[in-house]
Structures are given as structure tokens and as C-alpha cells.
Amino acid sequence: MTDKQYDVIIIGAGVVGAMIARTLSRYKLDILLIEKDADVCMGASAANTAIVHAGYDPPPGSLKALMNVTGNRMWDTLAGELNFPFERRGDYVVAVGQEELPKLDELYQAGIKNGVPGMLMLGGDEVRRREPNINPEVSGALWASTGGICDPFAVVIAAAENAVVNGVTVMLETACQGFVIEGQRIVGVKTNRGTFRCRWAINAAGLYSDVVMHEAGLRPEFKITPRKGEYYVFDRAEITINNVLFPVPTKVSKGILVTTTVHGNTIIGPNAQDVEDKEDRAVTAAGLDEIWQGAVKLVPKLSLRQVIAVFAGLRPAGNGECTTPGVNYKHDFVIEIPQQVSGLVNLGGIESPGLTSSPAIAERVVELLKDAGEKLVEKRDWNPIRNARPRFRDLPREEQKLLIRNDPRYGRIVCRCESVTEGEIVAEIHAPVPVRTYDALKRRTWLGTGRCQGGFDTPRVVEILARELGVSPQEITKKGPGSQFLMRRTKAVEPEEARSVSQRQDRGGPNGEV
């Protein structure tokens, strides 16, 4: 038990939690942001299409629609202040064949109702002219100029870092295990690191938002159904897609799209598969086949030979009912201060467009707190700016030269495919949100994401992490406890009980002397 008292404890350091932490750090509040995993941005925020949506998809009148369109408008300022990669390239919803055309019109109408600016209906010829790699059968497209792409890791990390610099405490590998409730009020959060007292808890637990709200005795009917989406990533520059290409959407999702990342890789996916396990990010053969079929429908030129990565993400799809009268929609965002329990801001079902909406959601949380009588006093010295650390490969040569002159570690390339230097790695390890795992470095520097997928850098990165953290290489993990890279020293003898008698017998031969 600890007596540490916070004003606000935010549960979950995905994009929503980090954005709330950063937004609340404007005020004179003692804030704790807890995350069950070994890094921020480990759940739904980590594995998605990285798109800042224009806002024509959510049903008009839904909270999703409002948050999406409001959030979308905030991204230019956000990217400017937090210095993460964001490009407002626009996106297309592509119709193939005449039968898909009416769907475009529906989307256009929804977009108008939602207040999406900058939409345009394009004919097939115009689309072919703009995207030469597109399926020649394209019959038309809805163009939305406010669509954008970002690097979601960079967004969450930047927001969390800015929060830390403004006084927020981040605790990783700290899981919410329940609440301390006195009367009808939440006064503390129980974790694996002890209990922390607070005046407000904020449920930003994403895939686990249902579990967290049930702990608080709320909404027993609310359920998150993890919806898996699988993706392929292609080698940079093998094929170029200028913009985000959506197919016409289905009932459950926006469909399998073809897009480009801010790092220049083409990416395809996701499919939509409901699963039970909140940690089931396994890629399936059937799923990969499905996204492949979907993607080649849009861009027939894609080749599987150029795939450099596959991954799966889980969308935290909820069953929250839309509260707007007259709108029948059962998968809306939940953003509320419930009546039954005080001291809790309850969020749930923040699936797509959650990334886009996150800055708007954070502002809405501020409004809810004010409405609940919380006196939010702005800090005089709040610093909205978070400076990005230098990325060697993106710098002009003169600046590279200077960087190496000032710190020779920037002269040592550790990841050859992505040209990531030791200097960058060391800087990340000692950043405001410190790095302790390989994957955390990977998301920050993009090391290990290229053609060799870490084959070259892994031994070198393990060594640097161990050196900088002052631990044995054996303790270095890929993504937190249980994911160690190394088992033991060579020549070390394993404990006797670990080696079964039969194992030694069947080995036999000249290696018996080991």
C-alpha cells in the first residue's frame, strides 16, 4: 500500500490515454498515467491503418461522427506542437464496377451531414489519372481532402512525452486490478504496484475498457469484442501509392484498403474477424489471403514478393448505444461521467476512428470534468511543444556531419536497412518516456522494420540496451516480461533438472562431453 495521492489516474496509455494526459497536463493537477504493458501504445493504437479519417463513415448523429470531424480539425496544430509525422494527403473511397457507385453517394451524403469539408465525387478517368496503379475497372471515387496519415506510435509517444515534461507521471507495467470505492465514490486504483489514491480515475483501457468499467460496477451489459484486422507491409519504393485508397465499406468495417505509411511503405489491410481473446494478435493464413484478395481488387499490381512484414491488430469494438434521439446505432463511443459512481470518467468502445478522435475526446473529457464541478486551473508554464529527436536518415548531409561531430554515436549505423544510428537509439532509451524493450525502440526509430526485419540489428540493439540500462543482455526483452531474447551464456551448464535423462541419452555421440 502506498499513500501517494493523485488528482487524476488515467488507466491505459494508448492514444486516448496519452492524449488525455497531455491535455490535462495544462492544468494544475497531479496526474498518473498507468499502462499494463512495457511501453505506451501497445494495444489498439499500435496496430491499425494509421489513418486520420475525414469523417464520412460514422453514422450521422453519433458521438463517433462528432468526435471524428472535431478531432480531424485538430491534427495540424497537434502535429505542429508535438512534432510527429502527419500528412494530410486526402483519401479516396474507390468504387469498382457500376454496382458500387451508389454507395459512394451514400457516403458523400453522410459526410455532408457530419460536417466533413473538402469532399468531391470523381469519375473513373480522373481516378485513373491520379492513381496510375489503380485497378482500371474503377468506376469512380469519393475524394476527401481532409483525410491524412500519421505514425500512430509517434503520436502516442509524443503526447506521452509532452505530458511527462509537463509533470505527468507515467508508470509502465502497471495494471489496473480494481478500484478503491468509498461510498459511491472512486478514491483509488489498485494495481500490481500497490494502490494509488486519486480524486478522479479515467478509464482509457481500450480493449479492456469493459473489464475496467465492470470493476467500477458500471454497465454490466457493455462488452468489448476484439475485432482482429490483419495487414501486409511492402518494401518501400517497390510500389508507390500516393493516397489512401478505401474500397466501398461493408457493414462491419471500412474494408480492406491500400495505403501508404508516412515512412513510404505501402500497407494493405485490414480484414475484420471477431475474436474472444483480447491478446490474440496471431496472423492467420485465411486472414492474410482475405486481405490479399481485397487489396488486389484495388491495386492489381501488388506483388507478394515485396512483402516485408505482416501483423495483426485488435479493434476494441464496443456495444455502446448512441444517445442521440432518433439515431439507432449500437456501436458508439462511450464518453461519460456516470451517475452511479462518482470520481470516474468512463470511456469505452473507442475503436476506429479513435486515433483521429483522440484529441477531441481529450477535450471532451476536460469539458466533462468542468461540468462535474472540477476547478481546472491552467498552469502558467505549460509547454505545448515537444521537440522530435533527430532522425539521422532524414537529415541533409551537412547536418548529419554536425551530428556525428557532436556525438560520434550518430556515426554508427545499427540498423542498416533503415539507417538508424546508435546515437538515436541511446537518445530514445533516455527520453522522457524511457525505452526498455526492443519493440519500443523499433516503434520510435523504425529500426528492424526494413527488409532484413532485425536480422542485422538485433544482437547490436540487445547489447546497447543492456549497456545503457546497466543490466545483463539476458534481461533485455522484445516487448516486456517473458519475451527475453537470450536464455543463458554459451558454455554455461543448464540446471540438472532442466535436462531430462532421455534428452542426454538420445543426443549421445561426440557431444556427450558438453
To the nearest whole angstrom, how small is the minimum distance from the Cβ of residue 454 to another protein? 8
CA–CA distance, 144 with 380 (Å, rounded to integer): 39
Q: Taking CB under 8 A as the rule, which mask of x and - marks residues 278-297 in contact with another protein?
A: -x-xxxxx-xx---------
**Which of 129, 379, 389, 507 lies at the binding interface for another protein (CB under 8 A)?**
507
Quick one: cell of 412?
554508427
50, 44 contact by CB (below 8 A): no
Quick one: cell of 342?
462518482
CA–CA distance, 315 with 86 (Å, rounded to integer): 22
User: 138-144 and 266-269 as β-strands: parallel, antiparallel, unpaired?
Assistant: unpaired
Residue among 432 and 473 whose Cβ is closer to another protein = 473
To the nearest whole angstrom, how small is the minimum distance from the Cβ of residue 69 to another protein? 34
Q: Which of 53, 214, 263, 331 is catalytic?
A: 53
Is residue 456 within the footprint of another protein (CB under 8 A)?
yes
Residue 391: burial class (beta carbons within 10 Å; 0-12, 13-18, 19+):
middle
**Which of 412, 430, 467, 471 lies at the binding interface for another protein (CB under 8 A)?**
412
To the nearest whole angstrom, how small is the minimum distance from the Cβ of residue 445 to another protein? 16
Quick one: cell of 492?
554455461
228, 276 contact by CB (below 8 A): no
Q: Taking CB under 8 A as the rule, which mask of x and - marks residues 33-52 in contact with another protein?
A: --------------------
To the nearest whole angstrom, how small is the minimum distance from the Cβ of residue 389 to another protein? 18
CA–CA distance, 50 with 178 (Å, rounded to integer): 32
Q: Which of 229, 231, 245, 227 is nearest to 449 (CA)?
A: 231
Which residues, 211 to 240, sit near another protein by CB under 8 A? 233
- Provide the b/e sequence for 99-117 (b: ≥16 CB within 10 Å): ebbebbeebbebbeebebe
Is residue 416 within the footprint of another protein (CB under 8 A)?
yes
263 counts as catalytic: no
Residue among 237 and 376 whose Cβ is closer to another protein = 237
Is residue 441 within the footprint of another protein (CB under 8 A)?
no
CA–CA distance, 235 with 158 (Å, rounded to integer): 26
Contacts of 404 (CB under 8 A, 6+ apart): 410, 411
Q: Taking CB under 8 A as the rule, which mask of x and - marks residues 298-337 in contact with another protein?
A: ------x--xxxxx--------------------------
Give the range of 221-229, 377-385, 427-435, 447-455 binding another protein by CB under 8 A. Answer: 447-455
Number of residues that make up the chain: 514
SS3 state of residue 269: strand
**Which of 81, 451, 468, 469 lies at the binding interface for another protein (CB under 8 A)?**
451
CA angle 356, 295, 51 (to 5 degrees): 10
Q: Taking CB under 8 A as the rule, which mask of x and - marks residues 468-497 in contact with another protein?
A: -----xx--xxxxxxxxxxxxxxxxxx---
159, 82 contact by CB (below 8 A): yes
Give the range of 200-208, 210-218, 317-325, 449-457 binding another protein by CB under 8 A. Answer: 449-457
Number of residues located near another protein, criterion CB under 8 A: 68
Question: Active-site residues: which are they?
Answer: 53
**What is the contact surface with another protein in residues (CB under 8 A)?**
233, 279, 281-285, 287-288, 304, 307-311, 397, 400-401, 404-405, 408-409, 411-413, 416-417, 419, 422, 451-456, 458-459, 463, 473-474, 477-494, 498-499, 503, 506-511, 514
